[in-house]
Amino acid sequence: MSAQKTPYELIGGADKVNTLVDRFYDLMALEDLFADLRVMHPSDLTISREKLKLFLIGWMGGPDVYSPKYGHPMLRARHLPFKIGLKERNLWLACMYRAIEDCGIEGEFATRLEESLFNTADWMRNQPS
């Protein structure tokens, strides 16, 4: 009997998560479409990249590498200082979906990943619209 693989295993482990996150932040920095999303972040994206990489590794079923370094993710609480409405949610998702596509993540796995990311991003909203 074989165990079902986690999304972390299906995506290809930490290397692929790192590639995905790097592409996400590169797009945010390079594409005018994502300028409003970019200004919500610090000028140096090093820590933002690291935190998202470590968070996604655990979120996808890999090892818990975020909590030992940064504490409990408290995802929603950590984002409360930022206005996150439909526009911000949609920009974040558009940037992440583009990164998923650019990284060659396809098929049913990409669809399931996008659905899970949508649910998480929608839960992060702290503004009605």
Domains of the chain: 10-123 (1.10.490.10)
**pLDDT per residue as tens digits for the range 77-115:** 999 899 999 999 999 999 999 999 999 999 999 999 999
What values do phi and psi take at 31, rounded to 5?
-95, 125
Residues near 128 by Cβ (< 8 Å), separated by ≥ 6?
85
Residue with tokens 């590794």: 57
Is the CB of residue 49 less than 8 Å from the CB of residue 43? no
pTM of the entire predicted model: 0.93
Give the separation between CA 129 and CA 120, rounded to whole angstroms: 16
**pLDDT per residue as tens digits for the range 21-37:** 999 999 999 999 999 99
Dihedral, CA of residue 42, residue 45, residue 51 and residue 57, to nearest 10? 140
